[in-house]
Amino acid sequence: MEYQIPTLPLSIDLETKSVLKQLNAANRKLAELKGVALTIPNETILINTLALQEAKDSSAVENIVTTHDDLYRAASDTKSLSISAATKEVYSYVQALKHGFFLVRKTKLLTNTSIKDIQQVLEHNNAGFRRVPGTTLKNQLGEIVYTPPQNADEIELFMANLEGFINDDTISELDPLIKMAIIHHQFESIHPFFDGNGRTGRIVNILYLVIKELLDIPILYLSRYVIRNKGDYYRLLQEVRVSNSWEEWVLFMLKGVEETAEQTIYLVKQVSTMMAEYKFKMRPAFGKVYRHELLNNLFNHPYTKIEFIMNDLGVKRLTAAKYLDMLVELELLKKIKVGRENYYLNTKLIDLFMNFSVVVQDNEINRIITTHE
């Protein structure tokens, strides 16, 4: 039977005992993350570092793969001819996410115009919603598992309904986290664009948490959770379409919020501790010329360079080079040469994010062991 996309709000009761229990756990962790994020006063540090990680993970869901090293270098030199097409595509996700955050931050609205703008930055085209039929979703065997709406007017109507559900709280009194799960499924089922639906949909998730003030800045990214549970993610998406299994889908997404918030709390605390350690070493070495902007630069740009120091501190080239060499001597940065350009790597910060997947796996193993003891 062909799936009929519902008009929102849904006509079923999703506030079951299981959902409410998981909802409480997710909201508690999300509130803790919101508070922990305030320990790093310069919000751009978290936005920049976590957005790069999310871009890598979200693109990996779509089998667009790059390395941390290439991605950090791309962030430092977007015009480099040596950057691969895949890395440029992943970095476009960072730009789309930041652009979306800029759009929604003041208005607290996530409109279809904003969603189109985000997809335009992501895909580098302004095609807008699909207007030509032929789009289908296939499994790994090439079999069609779902056919989204084909008619342009129908797509517009579904997206107008979704836009209202996102922004008008009088339409539904459900908790925002339950609504986020519904919004994500609805968006992926409408599949409004020719390309970039998955990544755009995950950006919509993040920005929805911001406009509902569950987070101040976009730092909760579910892509790593989706990667680790990719089979369940696509299975549950489809089971809603086949058997109306909304509760299982909502539980899956709420569990993702809880787990991801817990992991992000760990990351933020690690970054905060690392910044304090760097500051402790830098203050006596730099004396009166020490400035917060220098410390912030090292965490805003894991691959920094002389020009970044000049811009952030307003100093001349020789002074910027001197500061960076001092940081290398303090073993806080590592200097490498790529072509004719010198880069200064915050290797401890880079290692934190590169090794994060190992930490996540260890935590999951420990949780399983504890559960079965």
Give the residue carrying structure tokens 């979306």.
Answer: 100
> What number is the average pLDDT over the span 215-238?
94
- Across the chain, what does the average pLDDT equal? 89
Instruction: Give the Cβ contact number of residue 103 at 10 Å.
Output: 18
In a domain, 70, yes or no: yes
Give residue-wise pLDDT tens across range 193-203. Answer: 999 999 999 99
Kindly tell me if the per-residue pLDDT of 53 is higher than 70. yes
Confidence of residue 68 (pLDDT cuts 50, 70, 90): low
Kindly tell me if the per-residue pLDDT of 362 is higher than 80. no
In a domain, 102, yes or no: yes
Kindly tell me if the per-residue pLDDT of 54 is higher than 80. no
Q: Number of structural domains, the chain?
A: 1
CA dihedral 61, 62, 66, 71 (to 10 degrees): -80
Instruction: Give the Cβ contact number of residue 218 at 10 Å.
Output: 25
Give residue-wise pLDDT tens across range 286-336. Answer: 999 999 999 999 999 988 999 999 999 999 999 999 999 999 999 999 999
Instruction: Give the Cβ contact number of residue 181 at 10 Å.
Output: 24
In a domain, 109, yes or no: yes
In a domain, 23, yes or no: no
Q: Which of 344, 108, 324 is nearest to 216 (CA)?
A: 108
- The predicted pLDDT at position 148 comes to 97
Q: Which of 160, 360, 334, 351 is nearest to 260 (CA)?
A: 360
Tell me what percent of the residues of the chain surpass a pLDDT of 70.
Answer: 87
CA dihedral 304, 308, 314, 318 (to 10 degrees): 70
DSSP calls for 108-119: ----HHHHHHHH
Residue 138: CATH number of its domain:
1.10.3290.10
> What number is the average pLDDT over the span 18-28?
98
> What number is the average pLDDT over the span 39-66?
75
- The predicted pLDDT at position 87 comes to 72
- The predicted pLDDT at position 66 comes to 54
- For 287-355, where are the alpha helices, taking DSSP H only? 292-300, 306-313, 317-329, 347-354
In a domain, 228, yes or no: yes
Angle at which helices 246-286 and 43-61 pack, to 10 degrees? 140
> What number is the average pLDDT over the span 28-36?
98
Domain interval for residue 156: 41-257
- The predicted pLDDT at position 70 comes to 62
More confident residue, 41 or 239: 239
Distance of CA 160 to the CA centre of its chain: 25
pTM of the prediction?
Answer: 0.89
- For the chain, where are the alpha helices, taking DSSP H only? 17-37, 43-61, 68-76, 85-107, 112-123, 152-167, 176-190, 197-211, 223-228, 230-243, 246-286, 292-300, 306-313, 317-329, 347-354, 356-372
Please state whether the peptide bond connecting residue 6 to the residue before it is cis, i.e. omega within 30 degrees of 0: no
In a domain, 9, yes or no: no
Which of 14-28, 61-75, 104-118, 250-264 is the least confident region? 61-75
In a domain, 106, yes or no: yes
In a domain, 155, yes or no: yes
Radius of gyration of the chain (CA): 22
Q: Can you tell me the distance from the alpha carbon of 92 to that of 79, in angstroms, rounded to the nearest whole number?
A: 13
Angle at which helices 197-211 and 85-107 pack, to 10 degrees? 30
> What number is the average pLDDT over the span 33-37?
97
> What number is the average pLDDT over the span 96-110?
95
Which of 85-99, 115-129, 171-185, 357-371 is the least confident region? 357-371
